[in-house]
Amino acid sequence: MLNSVILVGRTVEDLKLVTTENGYKTTRMVLACQRGFKNQETGEYDTDFIPVQLWQVAAEMVCQNCRKGSTLAVKARLITRTIEHEGFKIKTVEVVGERVIFINLKSPEKE
């Protein structure tokens, strides 16, 4: 069985590294991934904005080397969760990045 997703896109904002209470480093980024075909109505390429969670070394490397507009390839896996909200059970799908390849970096500005 295989659970693998490959996304190529641009980061939509500068990233921030967070450390959890358990000491794990993480960041949540949103990748703007342009579709490979044009919208028939508008003639433009649509873009999907996909949230990706990164952990530990991958999170540190991305936060150190990227800023808004950097192009990345992310190998990821999907995880499902069931959340209870107002008495209803809602299934969600999340993208967890496992490996990141830097394609075109916009380096963070040095202070």
pLDDT of residue 111: 47
**Residue of 79, 66, 74, 68 whose CA lies nearest to 101:** 74
Residue 98's pLDDT is 94
| Confidence at residue 108, expressed as pLDDT on a 0 to 100 scale | 57
Q: What pLDDT is recorded for position 107? A: 61
Kindly list the averaged pLDDT for each block of 10 residues, start to end, along the chain of length 111.
94 94 96 92 93 96 92 96 92 95 75 47
* pLDDT value for 6: 96
How much is the pLDDT for 76?
97
Q: Output the pLDDT for position 15.
A: 92
**Tokens encoding 52:** 């990706």
- Name which CATH class applies to 5-104: mainly beta
